[in-house]
Amino acid sequence: LLTAISLERCTSILCSLWYRCHCPQGLAWVVCALLWALSVTFIVTVTYLCLSHEPEHCQVSLISMYALNFFLFAPAMVISSTILFIKVKCGPQQQQPKRLDIVILLTVLFFLLFALPLSIWNFLQQLGYAAVSSQVVFLLACIHSTINPFIYFLVGRCWSPCSVGCLRLSLQRVFQE
């Protein structure tokens, strides 16, 4: 979903006129639903193959799942977020970056730092390599699973006129955009 959000935001910035005039109203919902369906189908298939007690099929399905994540979704997210970052940094100085842009950039950055190592580690494990301790990789994944609410809170709070804000108000500010 982070890939879909990054790509959608990048498209809305790069092709803003087309996006406003020609982009179907529910396209983001459809893309997210399709990605959820693809993900669930893939995970169910991998689970079935791994529970069928055929290690070769299980290993191939796991390798393909990690490869899809690492070679398709992560690069698409990195490229679209890099374009978004460049656009935010090179945009007009009078216009501050939108909260949503900063949330997406921070979420992608923390995904790359904390969640992607788990996929890389799993991918390398399936190929027979053990580069890093599993405890380090799982600690990074745990940090990633708890960091998004803090991103939303801090980004929402940074734009508030006074420094005292509640989490609900911060989340509303971020997602209003």
- Answer whether residue 148 is part of any domain: no
Higher pLDDT, 175 or 112: 112
Higher pLDDT, 112 or 104: 112
Question: For residue range 115-133, what is the model confidence (pLDDT) as tens digits?
Answer: 888 888 888 888 888 777 8
- Mean pLDDT, the chain, rounded, equals 77
- Is the residue at 156 inside a domain? no
Q: Is residue 123 domain-resident? A: yes
Q: What local confidence, expressed as pLDDT, does residue 18 receive?
A: 76
For residue 163, is pLDDT > 70? no
126 neighbors 59 (Cβ within 8 angstroms): yes
DSSP state at residue 72: I
- What is the extent of the structural domain holding 122? 53-89+100-129
**For residue 149, is it within any domain?**
no
11 in a domain, yes or no? no
**164 is a domain residue:** no
Q: Above 60 in pLDDT, residue 93?
A: no
Q: Classify residue 16: in a domain, yes or no.
A: no
The least confident of 2-6, 133-137, 140-144, 162-166 is 162-166
Number of domains in the chain: 1
Handedness of CA 17, 23, 27, 32 (dihedral sign): negative
Q: Does a structural domain hold residue 59?
A: yes
All residues at 6 or more sequence positions from 125 whose CB lies less than 8 Å from its CB, including other chains: none
